[in-house]
């Protein structure tokens, strides 16, 4: 037997009108829908974070390990690497701004 029919029968035994029972069940359905929607959004965020971590750690692991080996524990090389990456990001930003200005 379904839960809603059990509730209807229970409320019928308590002499609660059927319309009130149906209204209570509708409110309960709406609340359960909202909570399940919240759960789905939460799971979606968790799934995206897990995919990002998997991409970051598994797919780029070799690249980062090569960078660490190239630095060799020297802080000056680390600063040079950071400057190189920042320069690449800045140049990409400049190129993207120029491309946005172009109209085809």
Kindly report, residue by residue over 24-43, the tens digit of the pLDDT. 889 988 998 988 888 888 88
Indicate the pTM of the whole model. 0.41
Q: Residue 97: inside a domain, yes or no?
A: yes
Of 57, 58, 85, which is closest to residue 71 (Cα–Cα)? 85
b/e sequence 35-68, b meaning 16+ C-beta within 10 Å: eeeeeeeeeeeeeeeeeeeeeeeeeeeeeeeeee
7 and 48 belong to one structural domain = yes
Q: How many domains does the chain have?
A: 2
Q: Which whole number is the average pLDDT over 54-68?
A: 76
pLDDT at 104: 57
User: Is 75 in a helix, a strand, or coil?
Assistant: helix
Q: What is the pLDDT of residue 103?
A: 64
- Examine the domain organization and report whether 3 and 50 are in the same domain: yes
User: What does the alpha-carbon distance between residue 22 and residue 5 come to, in Å, rounded to a whole number?
Assistant: 10
What spatial distance separates the first Cα and last Cα of the chain, rounded to whole Å?
Answer: 65
């Amino acid at each position: 037997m379904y839960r809603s029919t059990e509730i209807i029968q229970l409320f019928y035994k308590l002499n609660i009108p059927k319309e009130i029972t149906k209204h209570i069940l509708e409110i309960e359905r709406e609340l359960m829908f909202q909570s399940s929607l919240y759960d789905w959004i939460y799971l979606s965020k968790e799934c995206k974070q897990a995919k990002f971590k998997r991409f970051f750690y598994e797919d780029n692991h070799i690249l980062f390990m090569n960078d660490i080996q190239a630095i060799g524990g020297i802080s000056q090389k680390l600063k040079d690497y950071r400057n190189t990456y920042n320069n690449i990001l800045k140049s990409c930003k400049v190129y993207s701004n120029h491309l946005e200005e172009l109209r085809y």
